[in-house]
A and B are shown apart, each in its own frame.
Chain A
Amino acid sequence: MNAQLLTFIFVGISFSLYIGIAIRSRAKSTSDFYIADKGVNPIANGMATAADWMSAASFISMAGIISFLGKDGAVYLMGWTGGYVLLALLLAPYLRKFGQYTVPDFIGTRYYSDAARLVAVLCLIFISFTYIAGQMRGVGIVFSRFLEVDIDLGVIIGMTIVFFYAVLGGMKGITYTQVAQYCVLIFAYLVPAIFISILITNNPVPQFGFGDQISGSSTYLLDKLDRLNVELGFNEYTSNTKSNIDVFFITAALMFGTAGLPHVIVRFFTVPKVSDARKSAGYALIFIALLYTTAPAVSAFARVNFIESVQEVEYENAPGWFKNWEQIGLIAWKDKNEDGRLNYSAGDALEGVKPIYSEGRGEYGERKVLNDANFENLNEIYIDRDIMVLANPEIAKLPNWVIALVAAGALAAALSTAAGLLLVISSSISHDLLKKTLMPKITERQELFYARLAAASAIIVAGLFGIYPPGFVAQVVAFAFGLAASTIFPALFLGIFFSRVNKEGAIAGMISGLLVTSSYIIYFKFIRPDLNEATNWIFGISPEGFGFFGMFINFLVAILITFCFRRPPKKIDLLIKDLRSP
């Protein structure tokens, strides 16, 4: 059977599974809708958290990025897992003990202030929409490449599915579909990785395989990769390229940002007991680690395979996947030395980096690009990093059903994360903005209605992001983590561990963290992108890592301002005492 038909079947089966689960788990109360009535088993919650957390970026993009960055790619591996230790130790159990519905709820109650609640709602909405835009792009890519469906139609299909289980089932529906989605996505990630590991190193465990010898020779895979990289003008694959301080700050910003992401935190509100919240964080990290320890192996395999299957090959004989992805617009070739062969090496192939295609075909049948060739280097190939995972099974010539599986897995990863984000957006609007601030008199039934309405509207906005993708998606991802690290994490942490911190301190801290981090990112990403290089950065910290700096500013300001104002009222002392008791 051909790959496209198989993909239709796999995606169709997985989608009907999600809808079936949605119909079985309708939300009946606000507690059902916001936190699944605290009835989720910690292992199931661990799986749901893993699916919630692992987005299109983890599934599709991460291994590709590491493949090009080499060792420095570890910032994502450590940054996006290490945050769970912080979450398990510093936040999850206490917030579960608090026992309310949302993250702004905790901030508003702990700092006895609607202003603090609103600042938290604003940060949350901004972070979550930034994130959703990325998911929708992932859905679009998968639909257009594997199903040859128009991107817009693909996004609409995806949104309809999410609409079903998020609006009907709320957190309850989302949780159980996420469990199913985790199983789909991890299976889809591991199967090709195991296949490729066996093909290249004869070792069925990818985590060990990429440190093993290439089968039939005594050369270690990583040594070969180091050599290939150097030959082509890149740095050694296993050596540092970025400065240590920058790697340190990016890793830290991603870790503290992860711990401060509302859609992840809220998952720990859904388990029955405080001890379950701790346990659940552990299970979540096991399930996440399964993918995250496989990813760097996939990166290394993909890089070797990619280089070996294109280097010096005549365009006419280029592999099928090369031309397929060229057709989608994620690969381009400019024959600089006019030898008709694909030459890959370090540097940007084209002026202006991204290809702008024209209608016609070149001498060898390649898509013509309008960009001038960049003659500062010899590289002729533009390749979008995002395709490494998706094209990997094709590059390694795996059977068609594996290719179909990867498409279903990528959709599961994107949809599960989108649903989790939509839920925190809708609950912060219906619960924090309406019920707790603007319309305190509404009944539970009305609140539930508004929650569904907010979820439905958020889905439409997210769908529009997918159909008209803002060009700045890649630039704003740094934002989501930077803001979570510099606003939400410190407010929660201080709220639990420093009882003296009052509302004035917390609000001033959040606002200064927000301003410092966002002005640094906006300056280097939007106002003067030409200056965005190490020599101009403060202490050599890139915008991606600046959230960690913003976090310290937040702590500093919050503590200084706190001591200028009165202690928090007695009832807050009691609240904190309760959080800190077993």
Chain B
Amino acid sequence: MSYWKANLLILSVILSIWFIVSFGFGIIWSENLDAISIGGFKLGFWFAQQGSIYVFVILIFVYVNLMNRLDKKFKSKDKD
């Protein structure tokens, strides 16, 4: 697989999770998730105001790691 193809694959997987967690859990299915409570939080409310943000941070660092590995595999130096 070429560098660019591998890159696009990584992008699409991460962006799908990004979409499901924020727009899915936080908005579209949020009211359904509200039926579940964790501590004092309704789950849909928690995803909308807390959870989605934590997931965003994790996603970027997963991406950074995958891309660093990919860069190494293609062994080119980061010029400039």
Residues of A within 8 A of B (CB): 66, 71, 73-74, 77-78, 81-82, 84-85, 88-90, 93, 99, 207-208, 210-213, 220-223, 238-240, 244, 247-248, 251-252, 273-275, 278-279, 281-282, 285-286, 289, 292-293, 296, 580-582
Contact = CB atoms under 8 A, between A and B. Distances in A.
A85 B14 contact: yes
23 contacts: A77-B48, A78-B52, A78-B53, A82-B22, A85-B15, A85-B56, A88-B63, A88-B64, A99-B80, A210-B40, A211-B40, A239-B34, A248-B27, A251-B23, A275-B68, A281-B60, A285-B56, A293-B50, A293-B54, A581-B3, A582-B71, A582-B76, A582-B78
Given A223-B40, A240-B31, A285 B67 contact: no
B36 interface: no
Contacts of A85: 14-15, 18, 56, 59-60
B48 A222 contact: no
Interface string B4-28: 1001000100110010001100111
Interface residues of B, number: 43
Contacts of B74: 582
A248 B24 CA distance: 10
A73 B26 CA distance: 12
A180 B10 CA distance: 35
Given A74-B48, A282-B61, 10 more contacts: A71-B49, A84-B56, A211-B38, A220-B39, A240-B30, A275-B67, A275-B68, A292-B53, A580-B7, A582-B76
Contacts of B42: 222, 238
Residues of A contacting B: mostly: helix
Given A74-B49, A244-B28, A289 B41 contact: no
A211 B63 contact: no
Contacts of B23: 248, 251-252
B1 to A, nearest CB: 13
Given A73-B49, A278-B67, A78 B60 contact: no
Contacts, number: 127
A103 B45 CA distance: 37
A285 B60 contact: yes
Given A582-B71, A582-B74, A211 B57 contact: no
A435 to B, nearest CB: 21
A117 B57 CA distance: 33
5 tightest Cβ-Cβ pairs between the two chains A and B: A220-B40, A74-B48, A282-B60, A211-B41, A211-B40
A193 to B, nearest CB: 14
B52 A82 contact: yes
Contacts of B80: 99, 273
Contact of A71 (B45, B63, B67): B45
B48 A90 contact: no
Given A88-B60, A99-B80, A238-B42, A71 B48 contact: yes
A314 B22 CA distance: 44
A240 B27 CA distance: 9
A273 B41 CA distance: 42
Nearest to A207: B50
A152 B59 CA distance: 44
A22 B21 CA distance: 42
Contacts of A240: 30-31
B76 A84 contact: no
A212 B39 contact: yes
A244 B70 contact: no
A91 B11 CA distance: 12
A82 B49 CA distance: 12
A222 B41 contact: yes
Given A82-B18, A89-B11, A90-B11, A289 B27 contact: no
A285 to B, nearest CB: 5
Nearest to B73: A582
A88 B67 CA distance: 11
A212 B38 CA distance: 10
A292 B49 CA distance: 9
A279 B26 contact: no
B3 A582 contact: yes
B30 A89 contact: no
Nearest to B49: A296
Contacts of B61: 282
Most buried by B among A212, A213, A247: A247
Contact of B26 (A74, A89, A210, A282): A74
Contacts of A207: 50
Contacts of A89: 11, 14-15, 60, 63
Nearest to A213: B40
Nearest to A244: B27
A464 B40 CA distance: 47
A275 B71 contact: yes
Most buried by A among B15, B41, B57: B57
Contacts of B7: 580
Contacts of A223: 40
Contacts of B39: 208, 211-212, 220
Given A251-B22, A292-B53, A273 B78 contact: yes
Given A88-B63, A282-B60, A222 B40 contact: yes
B78 A275 contact: yes
Nearest to A214: B40
Contact of B64 (A99, A239, A279): A279
Most buried by B among A89, A221, A240, A278: A89
Contacts of A213: 40
Nearest to B26: A78
A74 to B, nearest CB: 4
Contacts of B18: 82, 85
